[in-house]
Structure 1
Amino acid sequence: MARTSAPISANKPSSRTRAPRSDGVEARTRLLRVALRLFAEHGYAKTSTRQIALEAQVNIAAIRYYFGDKEGLYRAVFTESFGTPREIVEHMAQPGLPLREALTIFFTGYLAPLKQGDMARQALRLHLREMLEPSSVWQEELECDVLKPHAAMVALLGQHLGICRADDELHRLVLTVTGLAMLLFVQLEAIEIIRPSLIKKGAAIDRWVSRLVEDALALIEVERTRRATPSEK
């Protein structure tokens, strides 16, 4: 059984966060960035709020003001560092949206964190740590940012393929399509060694979006053809 590194109560609200004051946006941002790096490197239990505040060069009371407490800060770091898949789902699931446009929304949203440079690597490390040492935050992530987006993509591709009831092949197709985006994060360090120009600038990430949309459409078309071809007995 995986051990828990972040003893966060499952029944506790997300956090008692507050909108930053006009003079505190920079302080909140510094807290998030420093906390992301420290949580990713050392884990929840071994990272103190005093250490975070010291390196962010803010008063420790700022953590309480913006995030409620250490748990609230951890949740904010975990959810904000990789964007908000729930918003992506809402946009791509609009009725009547062409498939190409829906896929473009999906890949644009999921690859956006790569434009943050080193922060993307830290966010990935934090998510991998959560997968290996899960806390209640990972359970929330699994429900809201993994299962729901998967279900939305199943509905989207099922609709465009004319599939009324999802079967194993449709789920396999969806995992393959969404995996195209995840693969870039998994291979991030390898890409930086092999061909750093592929992810060095925002325009390069946008190029990946265009390429992955085309790849996804090709995979979907193969599945459409496969289903239309009578199987041999």
Structure 2
Amino acid sequence: MTQERDNQPSPASARAEIARQKMLSAALDVFGRYGFDGASTRQLTEAAGVNLQAIPYYFGSKEGLYIATAEYLMMRINTHVGDMRARVGAHLLALDAAGKPLGEAEARHFLTEILQTMVTLFVGKESESWARFLIREQMEPTEAFTRIYQGLMRPMIEMSRRLIGAILHEDPASEHVRLRTFTLLGSILVFRVAHAAVLAQMEWDGVGPEQVETVRGLAAELVDAIGASKGSAA
């Protein structure tokens, strides 16, 4: 019983963690809207409902908060994709260890799962602040981009490349497969990046469960279409 109590966080540390999480959540939105230079420390703390001293106390500086926000973003996204990525990655490693090739059918299955997970993740409203932050880092990369790319984007892109290479029976490192990978992933991300245009063209009032399922179905169609016509460029 005593050991269980010792393992529980103290009320003070629990409050500190709550405050830290509030700051990270608010910073993701504020930095996404205004960028690092445009976001003032007052905006950041007011959005989180904390005092100005909270930034140096918890993060050392505004720069420290920005990097921590990037790590927080990766953590949030990984709660959605982490299990799937680990499962697919473990399967690929097992095939490599056994010296077995990745079959086209299972490559299509895994790629469909990746795309449909992306739809659920990025088409819904929760991803608005994530997208703003990520787009800013794409346009003007900082240390935050390096961390997000190495820790999240690169593993997913390279996994998708391997799956597409298996479907097309091409080298995953080839320029063609690399380009096909970005084209395919971009066809899902456009629903977030061009959100307003999508709503206008589709005549949707918003994106709810029905719309998400429709786009998930489209994701499966996109995977089915890869390499479907042998007589034209795959």
Per-residue displacement from partner, 1:78-114 (whole Å, max 9, x unpaired)?
Answer: 3544713973543333427923431233123323343
Mark the CA change 1:174 to 1:134 in structure 2 (over 3 Å): closer, same or farther.
closer
* Equivalent of residue 197 in structure 1, options 204, 208, 216: 204
Mark the CA change 1:138 to 1:197 in structure 2 (over 3 Å): closer, same or farther.
same
Match of 1:122 in 2: 129
SS in 2 for 1:197: coil
Query: What CA distance in whole angstroms lies between the structure 2 residues aligned with 1:198 and 1:174?
Result: 31
| 2:43 corresponds to 1:51 | yes
Match of 1:186 in 2: 193
Match of 2:175 in 1: 168
Query: What CA distance in whole angstroms lies between the structure 2 residues aligned with 1:187 and 1:164?
Result: 31
The percent of aligned pairs where both chains have the same amino acid is: 22
| 2:115 corresponds to 1:107 | yes
Match of 2:86 in 1: 90
Shift of 1:188: 0.8
Query: What CA distance in whole angstroms lies between the structure 2 residues aligned with 1:109 and 1:155?
Result: 18
Per-residue displacement from partner, 1:191-211 (whole Å, max 9, x unpaired)?
Answer: 233336385213422331222
Shift of 1:56: 1.6
Mark the CA change 1:95 to 1:56 in structure 2 (over 3 Å): closer, same or farther.
same
Gaps of 5+ in 2: 1-11, 93-101
Shift of 1:212: 0.9
TM (normalized to structure 2)?
A: 0.68
Shift of 1:156: 1.7
Query: What CA distance in whole angstroms lies between the structure 2 residues aligned with 1:158 and 1:104?
Result: 14
Instruction: Tell me, yes or no, if the aligned pair for 1:192 and 1:199 is still in contact at 8 Å.
Output: yes
Which shows bigger deviation, 64-73 or 28-37? 64-73
Counting only pairs closer than 5 Å after superposition, residues 1-150 of structure 1 correspond to structure 2 as: 22-23=14-15, 27-60=19-52, 62-63=54-55, 67=59, 69-81=61-73, 83-84=77-78, 87=82, 89-95=85-91, 98-114=106-122, 116-117=124-125, 119-150=126-157
Which shows bigger deviation, 206-215 or 72-81? 72-81
Gaps of 5+ in 1: 1-19
Shift of 1:44: 0.9
Instruction: Tell me, yes or no, if the aligned pair for 1:198 and 1:204 is still in contact at 8 Å.
Output: no
Query: What CA distance in whole angstroms lies between the structure 1 residues aligned with 2:40 and 2:163?
Result: 43
- For these two proteins, the number of residue pairs brought into alignment is 207
SS in 2 for 1:53: helix
TM (normalized to structure 1)?
A: 0.69
SS in 2 for 1:95: helix
* Equivalent of residue 214 in structure 2, options 207, 223, 226: 207
